[in-house]
């Protein structure tokens, strides 16, 4: 009986132990979860605080960006307003000097036939039609100076292009008005294409050299005008700062004449004679060029020997020393100058003979081309005559 009761007691104690063990585990788990929950609450509170701070920062950044955008937009509006204001105003001068655009506009209006007295009014009126106000004004003397400066710039440009050109042709024609003779001259040559990107491209250009009045209609006067035109171009180019720093050396009239390969005129006898005299002038220039080149290549000893030989020949032609000394100083000076010229000319002939056939041909090349107007008139006259004969031969009525 006792053993049975002990067994019952042990059986009842075992669930109690299990229950206590479970309660202990449950209380431990509850404690762990409670501490964990507290940690999570703390972390959530910290995250909530950071979120609120971030939201405040975002709000502040939005305000800053909005302000910056507004400032930028206002700055852009002010810039646009300034640009529009600048576009609506045209300054004829910059730092007291007329701008290049203004000078080109003045030259364009002058070429179009606008009077210098009204160029300023025309510019102001045209700009006002486009809602553009003008600052500054151009007087008649300023217009005259701008046109004169354009002429000088054109002459300097022509001199530069002549130094670079391999050949040059000329053209001229003349007329008279109230017993006053007028001649018009042009120069034709290949020049650099300033609009192209590369400097090696060239195009044909025609330069107007002006209209000049002549004392008479003779060929000598026409050739003198040509020499004066060339001299003016050479002097302006050589004296200009551009000509001095271009590196091409001094330009001479003889250089232009050597490059002259032809001339275009009409068929009248006077113009033909002008072309013939220009060809002779080119031959003289070629001789001078070859003479100087040959002289520079000789030593001083050789040149002295040539001069002494020429002097002995000059005295021999005069007769003897007594006859030579009997001549007046003026005659001696003339003969001495002729002797020097002959010595130099002989050197030039020797240098010319040493050149190749192609070089000789280029130095002597000079082509005269006449106007075709008379040929066209002859064609019309011939056609009219042939048609009239056909009408008569076929019994048709001929009305003249």
224: containing domain: 167-282
Dist. CA 125–CA 133, nearest whole Å: 9
> Of 38-52, 181-195, 248-262, where does mean pLDDT reach its minimum?
38-52
Q: Are residues 185 and 133 in the same domain?
A: no
Q: Are residues 264 and 341 in the same domain?
A: no
Q: Please tell me the total count of domains within the chain.
A: 3
Q: Which helix (H) or strand (E) holds 177?
A: strand 168-177
Q: Are residues 255 and 303 in the same domain?
A: no
Mean pLDDT of the chain: 81
Q: Are residues 259 and 302 in the same domain?
A: no
Residue 3, pLDDT above cutoff 50? no
- The pLDDT score that the predictor gives to residue 145 is 93
- The pLDDT score that the predictor gives to residue 375 is 65
Q: What is the pLDDT of residues 198-222, one digit of tens each?
A: 667 888 999 998 888 877 778 888 8
If you average pLDDT over residues 352-372, what whole number do you get? 82
Give percent above pLDDT 90 in the chain: 12
> Of 91-100, 113-122, 243-252, where does mean pLDDT reach its minimum?
243-252
Could you tell me if residue 34 is inside a domain?
Answer: no
Could you tell me if residue 58 is inside a domain?
Answer: no
Q: Are residues 107 and 188 in the same domain?
A: no
Q: Are residues 278 and 197 in the same domain?
A: yes
Dist. CA 213–CA 220, nearest whole Å: 14
- The pLDDT score that the predictor gives to residue 86 is 53
Residue 350, pLDDT above cutoff 80? no
**Beta pairing class for 97-98 and 93-94:** antiparallel
Q: Are residues 178 and 270 in the same domain?
A: yes
Instruction: Please count the other Cβ atoms lying within 10 Å of the Cβ belonging to residue 80.
Output: 10
If you average pLDDT over residues 352-371, what whole number do you get? 83
- C-beta of residue 185 within 8 angstroms of C-beta of residue 170: yes
Residues 6+ apart with CB under 8 A from 293: 351
CA distances from 67 to 62, 77, 162, 317 (A): 8, 15, 65, 107
Residue 398 gets the label, from left (phi > 0), alpha (psi -120 to 50) or beta, of: beta
Could you tell me if residue 36 is inside a domain?
Answer: no
Residue 28, pLDDT above cutoff 50? yes
Q: Which of 138, 157, 176 is a domain's end point?
A: 138
Listed in sequence order, the DSSP H helices in the chain are: 2-87, 100-111, 119-129, 140-164, 219-239, 241-245, 253-259, 269-297, 300-318, 321-326, 329-353, 357-364, 373-393
Q: Are residues 264 and 189 in the same domain?
A: yes
CA distances from 188 to 206, 259, 262, 289 (A): 5, 12, 10, 23
- The pLDDT score that the predictor gives to residue 398 is 52
- C-beta of residue 125 within 8 angstroms of C-beta of residue 153: no
- The pLDDT score that the predictor gives to residue 353 is 78
Could you tell me if residue 1 is inside a domain?
Answer: no
- The pLDDT score that the predictor gives to residue 9 is 46
Residue 365 vs residue 303, higher pLDDT: 365
Q: Which of 117, 138, 159 is a domain's end point?
A: 138
Q: Are residues 321 and 266 in the same domain?
A: no
Could you tell me if residue 393 is inside a domain?
Answer: no
Q: Are residues 323 and 271 in the same domain?
A: no
Residue 42, pLDDT above cutoff 50? yes
Could you tell me if residue 207 is inside a domain?
Answer: yes
Q: What is the pLDDT of residues 67-84, one digit of tens each?
A: 777 666 777 777 765 655
Residue 311, pLDDT above cutoff 50? yes
- The pLDDT score that the predictor gives to residue 8 is 44
- The pLDDT score that the predictor gives to residue 199 is 65
Residue 187 pLDDT level (bands cut at 50, 70, 90): very high
Residue 295 pLDDT level (bands cut at 50, 70, 90): confident
Residues paired with 369 in a beta bridge: 264
- The pLDDT score that the predictor gives to residue 84 is 53
Could you tell me if residue 133 is inside a domain?
Answer: yes
Q: Are residues 308 and 271 in the same domain?
A: no
- The pLDDT score that the predictor gives to residue 109 is 92
Residue 4, pLDDT above cutoff 60? no
Q: Which two tokens stand for residue 177?
A: 């008005």
Q: Are residues 305 and 209 in the same domain?
A: no
Give percent above pLDDT 70 in the chain: 90
Instruction: Please count the other Cβ atoms lying within 10 Å of the Cβ belonging to residue 183.
Output: 21
Could you tell me if residue 196 is inside a domain?
Answer: yes
Let me know if 72 is exposed, middle or buried by CB neighbors in 10 A (0-12, 13-18, 19+): exposed
Residue 39, pLDDT above cutoff 50? yes
The pTM for the full model equals 0.62
- The pLDDT score that the predictor gives to residue 142 is 92
């Amino acid at each position: 009986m006792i053993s049975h009761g002990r067994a019952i007691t042990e059986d009842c104690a075992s669930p109690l132990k299990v229950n206590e063990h479970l309660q202990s585990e449950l209380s431990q788990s509850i404690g762990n979860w409670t501490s964990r929950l507290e940690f999570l609450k703390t972390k959530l509170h910290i995250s909530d605080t950071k979120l609120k701070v971030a939201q405040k920062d975002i709000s502040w950044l939005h305000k800053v960006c909005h302000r910056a955008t507004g400032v930028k937009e206002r700055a852009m509006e002010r810039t646009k307003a300034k640009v529009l204001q600048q576009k609506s105003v045209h300054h004829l001068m910059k730092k007291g000097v007329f701008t290049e655009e203004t000078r080109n506009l003045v030259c364009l209006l002058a070429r179009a036939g606008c009077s210098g007295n009204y160029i300023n009014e025309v510019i102001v009126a045209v700009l006002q039609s486009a809602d553009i106000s003008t600052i500054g004004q151009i007087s008649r003397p300023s217009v005259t100076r701008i046109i004169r400066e354009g002429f000088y710039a054109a002459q300097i440009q022509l001199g530069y292009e002549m130094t670079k050109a391999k050949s040059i042709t000329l053209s001229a024609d003349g007329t008279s008005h109230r017993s006053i003779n007028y001649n018009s001259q042009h120069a034709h040559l290949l020049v650099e294409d300033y609009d192209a990107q590369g400097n090696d491209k060239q195009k044909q250009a025609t330069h107007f050299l002006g209209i000049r009045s002549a004392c008479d209609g003779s060929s000598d006067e026409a050739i003198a005008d040509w020499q004066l035109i060339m001299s003016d171009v050479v002097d302006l180019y050589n004296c200009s700062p551009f000509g001095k720093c271009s590196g091409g050396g001094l330009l001479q009239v003889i250089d232009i004449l050597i490059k002259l390969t032809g001339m275009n005129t009409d068929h009248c006898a006077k113009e033909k004679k002008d072309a013939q005299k220009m060809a002779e002038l080119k031959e003289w220039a070629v001789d001078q060029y070859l003479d100087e080149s040959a002289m520079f290549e000789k030593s001083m000893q050789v040149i002295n020997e040539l001069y002494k030989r020429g002097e002995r020949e000059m005295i021999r032609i005069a007769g003897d020393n007594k006859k030579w000394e009997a001549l007046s100083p003026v005659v001696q000076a003339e003969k001495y100058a002729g002797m020097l010229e002959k010595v130099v000319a002989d050197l030039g002939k020797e240098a010319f003979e040493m050149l190749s056939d192609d070089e000789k041909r280029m130095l002597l090349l000079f082509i005269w081309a006449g106007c075709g107007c008379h040929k066209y008139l002859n064609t019309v006259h011939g056609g009219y005559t042939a048609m009239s004969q056909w009408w008569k031969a076929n019994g048709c009525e001929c009305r003249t």
